[in-house]
Amino acid sequence: MSQHKRNWFARHKVLTGVGAVVAVIAVGGAVGAGGGSDDKSPTSAVSQESPKKAEKKTGGSQQPEAKKEKGLGDGSFQVGSDIKPGTYVSSGNKDGCYWERAKDASGSTDAIIANDNVTGASYVTVLAGDKIFKSSDCQDWHLVDPKAPAKGTPKTTLKGNGGMFKVGTDIAPGTYKSTGNKDDQCYWERAKDASHSTEAIAANENVTGTAIVKVGAGDAYFKSSGCQDWVKTG
């Protein structure tokens, strides 16, 4: 993927209305229904022990492992029949992941409600009023409960090109610093929700050099693209 596509957000201070949507389409390319994404998560090793040995070792019969719920792959999906409204997450994306919320299946830029090119993780809230959700070259999307309590301790360091982080779950609230950013390519955003509308942006900035951002407990998400890694300083 070219540097032009990878750093689109870094060159746009504030996303506004249809112009932002068309610009993303220009760099992302027209996206149709693609093939399924590869699941790159490592598979668990199969035990070489016989069932009898395993039973003797554990003192009872082994329970079958729970199957991981299959996520939503690439393609176009009708909201309400193929995909439920709700908040979805896709993690571990390389350059090339593109998603889109659309108000109809015309494929025109006017139909796009929101879209994004993703490196790392992304959260997207698909609303009941949406008609189509598209995904291309992304890792599988999994439905999550945005109000679910955090499991484990939120991180205080994060990848500068890691994408989108849920505040209180993926990242702890506080003041973060990223240093050594070049040529205005670092873009960060504090967001009120995962709709990706312009109204959802609480604050954003393009940065050259050092960036300092206070992520509040009231923020829903923090997005970082093309930045050096962030470290919590306070």
Q: How many domains does the chain have?
A: 1
How far, CA to CA in Å, does 147 sit from each of 72, 144, 173, 218? 21, 9, 16, 13
Residue 59 in domain:
no
Residue 49 in domain:
no
Closest CA to 88 of 79, 204, 172, 96: 79
Q: Higher model confidence: residue 89 or residue 38?
A: 89
pTM, two decimal places: 0.72
Q: Higher model confidence: residue 29 or residue 223?
A: 223
C-alpha dihedral sign at 60, 68, 158, 4: positive
Residue 38 in domain:
no
C-alpha dihedral sign at 44, 47, 48, 50: negative
Percent of the chain with pLDDT over 90: 64
Residue 63 in domain:
no
Residue 144 in domain:
yes
The per-residue pLDDT for 122 is 97
Q: 219: domain range?
A: 3-28+71-232
Q: Give per-residue pLDDT as tens, 13-59.
A: 444 343 444 344 444 443 344 444 444 443 333 344 444 444 444 44
Are 133 and 76 in contact by the 8 Å Cβ rule? The answer is yes
DSSP state at residue 57: H
DSSP state at residue 225: E
Taking all residues of the chain, what is their mean pLDDT, rounded to a whole number? 80
Closest CA to 135 of 153, 122, 152: 122
Residue 184 in domain:
yes
DSSP state at residue 155: B
| pLDDT at residue 175 is higher than 60 | yes
Closest CA to 215 of 161, 162, 155: 155
Split at pLDDT 50, 70, 90, the class of 95 is confident
Closest CA to 31 of 92, 118, 90: 118
Residue 212 in domain:
yes
Q: Give per-residue pLDDT as tens, 118-171.
A: 999 999 999 999 999 999 999 999 999 888 887 889 999 999 999 999 999 999
The per-residue pLDDT for 202 is 98
The per-residue pLDDT for 19 is 41
| pLDDT at residue 101 is higher than 80 | yes
Beta strand extents in 103-150 (DSSP E only): 112-126, 132-136, 142-144
Are 103 and 113 in contact by the 8 Å Cβ rule? The answer is yes
Cα distance between residue 225 and residue 126, in whole Å: 22
Cα distance between residue 222 and residue 208, in whole Å: 18
Cα distance between residue 161 and residue 171, in whole Å: 14
Residue 191 in domain:
yes
Cα distance between residue 26 and residue 14, in whole Å: 17
Q: Give per-residue pLDDT as tens, 53-87.
A: 444 444 444 444 445 567 899 999 999 999 999 99
